[in-house]
Amino acid sequence: MCVGGIASSLACCVSSSACSLCCAACPSCRNSTASRIAYGLVLVLATIVSLISMSSLVREEFAKIGPVCEQFASKSICEKHLGYFMVYRVMFAMCCFFVLMAILMIGVKNSKDKRAALQNGFWAVKALVIAAFGVGAFFIPEGDFDSVWMYFGLAGGFAFILLQLVFLIDFAYSWNEKWVAKMEEDGEVCGKWFTILLSATIFIFLVCITAVVLMFVYYGSDGCGLNKFFISTNLILCVVLSVISVLPKIQEANPSSGLLQSSVVSIYIMFLTWSAMTSSTKVGCNPQLSEILTGHENHSQEQDQSGASLDSASIVGIVVWVCLVMYSSVSTAGKVGVSAAPEEEGFVAMNDVGSAGNASDDEEGGGRKGQKVYDDEEEGVAYNYSLFHLVLTCASLYIMMCLTNWLDPKGQLAQFQRSHAAMWVKVSSAWICAALYGWTLVAPLVLTNRDFY
């Protein structure tokens, strides 16, 4: 693809007006889809900025700025803490922006509301607002800000972990439904798609079993009784959920349930269990993956180095976050009017500049159809704008905690301690995740007067 094509494709994801101006070669897009992807990309960009700010080169340069380091005991302590200092403030700025948007978007019912234009456009203005929040955040004095903001991060991170499970369950059900549909199209009891579905399910369960064994070996040593309790309890929960998902009564009430969804939820619960144990404050019971691979154990409860390097659990968490946020942005919008032509759903189609009104040109053989941007929200919004921005607020806090390894930064002393609270946030999230998935299995059986499909 040429550079111009790439640029126009990117513009299509940023706003509908840009799409109508320069996206003639792009596939058609909807306002609701493009806007959600754009906000997701904004948060990804903020994450990249935060990662860059944690690099030693950037920290060394910022440490040269007098007012920044005056609030620390020494320049070396300032340089050591600056990575977390900047991550907390970048994500504070993002939270302020998303909370502001959530307030402004309260009560928007359709795209005829003038505020809908602010949701789906004015990206240059919104970029300036984010920049203003970012600059202002850097003038927040150190004091107790980081310690207090960390607890906001724990609360927001906890909420987003639960939201991630909702996205994950939706993905698992959609995945299972598509493969079952293909399996039924084959018309064979043990055809190709049945084999693929069974193989994927077995593979994921094998990964879960391997994870359990490794966690018992490296995190369940003598003196780590709490870790053993976490691993054993969550293993039992995964087994129970898997058995429930294939019970005849559950299958009858909820035909879409199955072992594939249980395997996906199980591996997520195992990830949360592992992440919780890496946040343990007990020495010898919280090895990082790098320590396991290298055989070098860190017996300190503190992060001895700069405190600005990502641990393995945080890296996995960020990857999962990016995948699920992008999936939720595309899949939810994709369910709006996919089975009917845009005109049948009341969408507004706009041809690209220069071809508006030239429908006859498109109808001629070999004619190039103009790029279409669909306003799919004239009759009603495809998603709750305010709730969407509150979700992104929680996502910002979750990313902030991942980038700082869920550690408790002590600004004046530049000590980065593992947090007992973070451990319980993660492990309790795993239990709530199991309860939520269990409810999706039994709800159709309990609430017989409700339609869950």
Q: Is residue 365 part of a domain?
A: no
Question: Which of 11-25, 52-66, 101-115, 153-167 is predicted least confidently?
Answer: 11-25
Q: Give the strand pairing for 407-410 and 415-418.
A: antiparallel
pLDDT digits (tens, 9 = 90+) for 193-234: 778 888 889 999 999 999 999 999 888 888 888 999 999 999
Q: Is residue 170 part of a domain?
A: yes
- Which pLDDT score is estimated for 169? 82
- Higher-confidence position of 22 and 401: 401
pLDDT digits (tens, 9 = 90+) for 111-145: 778 888 888 888 899 999 999 998 888 888 766 78
Q: Is residue 349 part of a domain?
A: no
Element holding 409 (H helix, E strand): strand 407-410
Q: How far is CA 439 from CA 245, 251, 376, 442, in A?
A: 11, 14, 32, 5
Question: Using CA of residue 122, residue 124, residue 125, residue 127, what is the dihedral sign?
Answer: positive
Mean per-residue pLDDT for 148-170? 85
The pLDDT-based confidence of 28 (bands split at 50, 70, 90) is low
Q: Is residue 351 part of a domain?
A: no
Domain that holds residue 224: 33-336+382-446
Give the whole-angstrom CA distance, residue 255 versus residue 441.
10
Give the whole-angstrom CA distance, residue 250 versus residue 240.
13
Q: Is residue 53 part of a domain?
A: yes
Who's near 83: CB < 8 A, 6+ residues apart? Answer: 53, 54, 55, 59, 306, 307, 308
In 3D, which of 399, 390, 393 has the Cα closest to residue 319? 399
Q: Is residue 51 part of a domain?
A: yes
**Tally of domains within the chain:** 1
Give the whole-angstrom CA distance, residue 130 versus residue 83.
20
Strand partners, 270: none
Give the whole-angstrom CA distance, residue 88 versus residue 67.
18
In 3D, which of 28, 4, 39 has the Cα closest to residue 385? 39
Strand partners, 418: 407
Q: Is residue 20 part of a domain?
A: no
In 3D, which of 334, 39, 324, 322 has the Cα closest to residue 170? 324
Element holding 373 (H helix, E strand): strand 373-374
Look at residue 80 and tell me whether its pLDDT is greater than 80. no
pTM of the model: 0.74
Mean per-residue pLDDT for 29-49? 83
| DSSP state letter for 379 | S
In 3D, which of 29, 32, 26 has the Cα closest to residue 7? 26
CA 297 to chain centre: 31
Cα dihedral 306, 307, 309, 313, rounded to 10, equals 160
Give the whole-angstrom CA distance, residue 35 versus residue 375.
11
- Encode 280-348 in three state secondary structure: CCCCCCCCCHHHHHHCCCCCCCECCCCCCCCCHHHHHHHHHHHHHHHHHHHHHHHCCCCCCCHHHHCCE
pLDDT, averaged across the chain: 74
In 3D, which of 168, 147, 103, 138 has the Cα closest to residue 393? 103
Look at residue 103 and tell me whether its pLDDT is greater than 90. yes
- Which pLDDT score is estimated for 270? 92
Structure-block tokens of residue 446? 């309990």
Q: For 110, phi and psi rounded to 5 degrees? A: -155, 175
pLDDT digits (tens, 9 = 90+) for 288-322: 776 677 665 554 444 444 445 566 777 787 888 77
Q: Is residue 312 part of a domain?
A: yes
Structure-block tokens of residue 255? 């035909």
Give the whole-angstrom CA distance, residue 59 versus residue 82.
6
Structure-block tokens of residue 72? 């620390």
Match 């996206």 to its residue by tokens.
23
